[in-house]
A and B are shown apart, each in its own frame.
Chain A
Amino acid sequence: MHSDEPRFDDAEWLRPSPRMWKARQTLLAIVAVPITLAVAGVTAAGAGARPAGAVLAVLVVVSGWWWYVLRGRYRAWGYAERGDDLLVRRGLLVRRLSVVPYGRMQLIEVTAGPIDRIFGLATVQLHTASASTDARIPGLAAAEAQRLRDRLAALGESRAAGL
């Protein structure tokens, strides 16, 4: 954790499932490998081996950098259930932290895209009456997502604060 980030003594930070990192890497591989090979192949066919090697090197470096960014983002995700509110933190370049009181939650959404489903993951998203509330926790194991949803729904009901 960076020193500027707000600290909460009573917060026990939880992280997304390690399977999320696998899912992100898989997605990266699905996108980056064919593009790299295709572009290098076309260059090799058109301009010879040396330019193709240069292009390949550049694309590999870009992919590696992308991999590094994704890893940083994955590591930045965290959430903590405190007594009265949920904390969510994220972001590598722009770091963000949201505090959402349980009583303010209007809707809890659990979604899972196709890649997420292959890895047994789900995203939990919280909505309040404010459109700018930004509390999304991706990459939770399906069971953990269920647990979190049920717990948040129960807490939200017992502490509903209206508008």
Chain B
Amino acid sequence: MTTTDDAPTQGLPTEWMRLHPLSPVVRGARLLFALAIVVLPRQFTPGHRSQPWVDIIALFVALAAGIVSWLVTRWRIHNGELQVETGLIRRDSVRVPLTRLQAVDIVRPFAGRVLGLAEVRVVVAGHGSSTARLTYVTDEQATLIRARLLALAHGLAVDTPAPAEAPVLAVSGGRIAASQALGAPAVIVALALAVVVVLAALAPAAATASAVSFGFAVCFVVVSGAVRRASAEWEFRLSAAPDGLRLSAGLLQTRAETIPFGRVQAVRWVQPVLWRMFGWVRLEVDLARRHGRDRASRETAATTRALLPVGSPAEAARLLALVLPGASVTLPPQVLASARAPRRARWRAPFARHFLRAWHDDHYMVCGSGRLRPEFVVVPLQKAQSIRWSQGPVQRWLNLADVFVDSAGVHFPGRARMRDAAEAQQWAGLLPDIARSARGGTPLPASDTGGAVGLA
């Protein structure tokens, strides 16, 4: 791709560039904060014969390391690749072919928001591929870089301006907080309280004390998880751009990400038990990104999956149709009867059978399961990587079998469990052909119609 080289730069480099000079400050903000908590009280404790030199040297070394790491890091967009080089002793060079790009996120940690800096995170697909990150550039640059990368990824001219966005949906912070409070945490905290109360009434004091402390620990973990999720999805906003859906959310640290159309591997529709009172549902997407080992990509995996953190079924249906046109998780009652798992499946899946159902058309496979927490997974057959059939001994006895549609996503496998054996046999034979003809259409249209149009 030579366009990269002759295009007008407009603040975007084809030459090697450094990151923003204040990057080390943002990167080290958490560390500095922790250091301050340790060091300052120590220095100002009266009567403490402190050696300030140790602390000053520690601070200086941390600062110097940050500056050196900034000095040796450089990046550019060249030959249709984003190239990032870093490291003083062990050179680390990341090259991201933009055709493999899955999503571009802009993350603003709290310190970055104060200084007007943002991180650009480029997510690519496939095993063993890494996330390229630019930590940190200015806000304007981040927006520009994202527009450029997406334009290149879609094969457009490099100076295509960032396309206009049409707001689709916004969820207020209060509603997010309420939905998190009514999720699994509420149930677990209530259960823990009940156990403690029962123990207090029945058991000796010593056992009660340990139960109380254990219950408290469980509640703390659960509640802090809920608070973290709520703060990650705070003030959730979704808008549609021609190249994909733009998501932005966050309380202290905000993140804005783009889900390119046609890269959605699966969508999950889920309704936790207490949400049923309000008719709320949640919609999550699965992209072809892998589980990361480092903290940053774990964050990505844990927090960016919601397409609709909480909303009405009508909103969920609208969004589902936006990312996967023509897909639906509901069926007319007369069709539903045949989509449900046979009654005898209750011997093998006593709880899940209630919502255990599966059906497919020419484009999608929809699998439902769960008892307290019904969930439906929609997998576009166009994205099927492989199709599996399996039958265990109990299933053989009950004349049942499973059919799986594997997509490149990690979180929501398409599992049609406990189908009648004859039906499973038929599906396993048919689905590969359906998937092939679904694939045979236009490969990955970047239009607002998403991935499943123009199919054979």
A residues in contact (CB < 8 Å) with B: 2, 4-8, 84-85, 91, 93-101, 103-104, 106, 127-135, 161-163
Q: List 20 A-B contacts (CB under 8 A).
A: A5-B425, A7-B429, A93-B392, A96-B390, A97-B389, A99-B386, A99-B432, A100-B386, A101-B384, A101-B435, A128-B406, A129-B126, A129-B127, A129-B288, A130-B385, A130-B406, A131-B410, A133-B385, A134-B386, A163-B265
A95-B396, A96-B390, A104-B386 known; 5 new pairs, CB 8 Å cut-off, are A8-B429, A84-B432, A94-B392, A96-B391, A132-B386
**A130 — which chain B residues lie within 8 A by C-beta?**
385-386, 406-409
Complex CA gap A109/B127 in Å reads 14
User: Chain B's nearest CB lies how many Å from the CB of A97?
Assistant: 4
Q: Does B246 contact A (CB under 8 A)?
A: no
Complex CA gap A106/B439 in Å reads 17
Across the interface, do A129 and B125 meet the contact criterion of CB distance under 8 Å? yes
User: Chain A's nearest CB lies how many Å from the CB of B22?
Assistant: 37
> Chain A contact residues: over half helix, strand or loop, or mixed?
loop
Complex CA gap A117/B146 in Å reads 51
Complex CA gap A93/B391 in Å reads 8
Q: Does B387 contact A (CB under 8 A)?
A: yes
Complex CA gap A101/B431 in Å reads 11
Complex CA gap A4/B407 in Å reads 25
Across the interface, do B127 and A97 meet the contact criterion of CB distance under 8 Å? no
User: Chain A's nearest CB lies how many Å from the CB of B124?
Assistant: 10
Across the interface, do B432 and A95 meet the contact criterion of CB distance under 8 Å? no
Across the interface, do B263 and A163 meet the contact criterion of CB distance under 8 Å? yes
**B426 — which chain A residues lie within 8 A by C-beta?**
6
Across the interface, do A98 and B387 meet the contact criterion of CB distance under 8 Å? yes
Which residue of the partner chain A has the closest CB to B410?
A131
Known: A106-B126, A129-B126. A94 touches B391 (CB 8 A): yes
Complex CA gap A94/B428 in Å reads 16
Across the interface, do A97 and B428 meet the contact criterion of CB distance under 8 Å? yes
Q: Does B136 contact A (CB under 8 A)?
A: no
**B407 — which chain A residues lie within 8 A by C-beta?**
130
> Chain B contact residues: over half helix, strand or loop, or mixed?
mixed
**A162 — which chain B residues lie within 8 A by C-beta?**
443-444
Complex CA gap A132/B393 in Å reads 21
Q: Which of B409, B428, B429, B436 makes the CB contact (< 8 A) with A101?
A: B436
Which residue of the partner chain B has the closest CB to A84?
B436
Q: Which of A91, A101, A127 makes the CB contact (< 8 A) with B432?
A: A101
Complex CA gap A2/B444 in Å reads 39
Complex CA gap A5/B424 in Å reads 9
Convert B392-412 into 0s and 1s, putting 1 for each residue whose CB lies closer than 8 angstroms to a CB of A.
110010010100101111100
B residues in contact (CB < 8 Å) with A: 125-127, 263, 265, 288, 290, 383-393, 396, 399, 401, 404, 406-410, 413, 421-422, 424-426, 428-429, 431-432, 435-436, 439, 443-444
Question: Which of B393, B410, B425, B432 has its CB near the most chain A CB atoms (within 10 A)?
Answer: B432
Known: A100-B386, A163-B125. A132 touches B392 (CB 8 A): no
User: Chain A's nearest CB lies how many Å from the CB of B195?
Assistant: 37
Known: A5-B389, A97-B389. A163 touches B429 (CB 8 A): no
**A128 — which chain B residues lie within 8 A by C-beta?**
385-386, 406, 408
Which residue of the partner chain B has the closest CB to A92?
B393
Which residue of the partner chain B has the closest CB to A98?
B388
Across the interface, do A161 and B439 meet the contact criterion of CB distance under 8 Å? yes
User: Chain A's nearest CB lies how many Å from the CB of B105?
Assistant: 18
Complex CA gap A104/B383 in Å reads 9
Minimum-distance CB pairs A-B, first 7:
A6-B428, A129-B408, A130-B385, A130-B406, A128-B385, A133-B386, A4-B421
**A93 — which chain B residues lie within 8 A by C-beta?**
392-393
User: Chain B's nearest CB lies how many Å from the CB of A7?
Assistant: 7
Across the interface, do A129 and B390 meet the contact criterion of CB distance under 8 Å? no
**A7 — which chain B residues lie within 8 A by C-beta?**
425, 429
Across the interface, do B391 and A95 meet the contact criterion of CB distance under 8 Å? yes
**A106 — which chain B residues lie within 8 A by C-beta?**
126-127
Complex CA gap A162/B382 in Å reads 11
Complex CA gap A32/B78 in Å reads 61
Which residue of the partner chain B has the closest CB to A103?
B439
Question: Which of A7, A84, A91, A130 has its CB near the most chain B CB atoms (within 10 A)?
Answer: A130
Across the interface, do A132 and B126 meet the contact criterion of CB distance under 8 Å? no
Which residue of the partner chain A has the closest CB to B429?
A6
Known: A128-B406, A133-B386. A4 touches B392 (CB 8 A): no
Which residue of the partner chain A has the closest CB to B408?
A129
**B439 — which chain A residues lie within 8 A by C-beta?**
101, 103, 161
**A135 — which chain B residues lie within 8 A by C-beta?**
386
**B409 — which chain A residues lie within 8 A by C-beta?**
130
Complex CA gap A129/B422 in Å reads 29
Complex CA gap A104/B232 in Å reads 35
Complex CA gap A84/B434 in Å reads 12
Complex CA gap A131/B408 in Å reads 7
Complex CA gap A100/B406 in Å reads 10
**A101 — which chain B residues lie within 8 A by C-beta?**
384, 386, 432, 435-436, 439
Across the interface, do A97 and B390 meet the contact criterion of CB distance under 8 Å? yes
Complex CA gap A103/B385 in Å reads 9
Complex CA gap A25/B431 in Å reads 38
**A91 — which chain B residues lie within 8 A by C-beta?**
390
Which residue of the partner chain B has the closest CB to A90?
B390
**B396 — which chain A residues lie within 8 A by C-beta?**
2, 4, 95
**A133 — which chain B residues lie within 8 A by C-beta?**
385-386, 388, 406
Across the interface, do B125 and A97 meet the contact criterion of CB distance under 8 Å? no
Complex CA gap A1/B157 in Å reads 56
**B127 — which chain A residues lie within 8 A by C-beta?**
106, 127, 129, 131
Complex CA gap A104/B385 in Å reads 6
Q: Which of A95, A131, A161 makes the CB contact (< 8 A) with B390?
A: A95
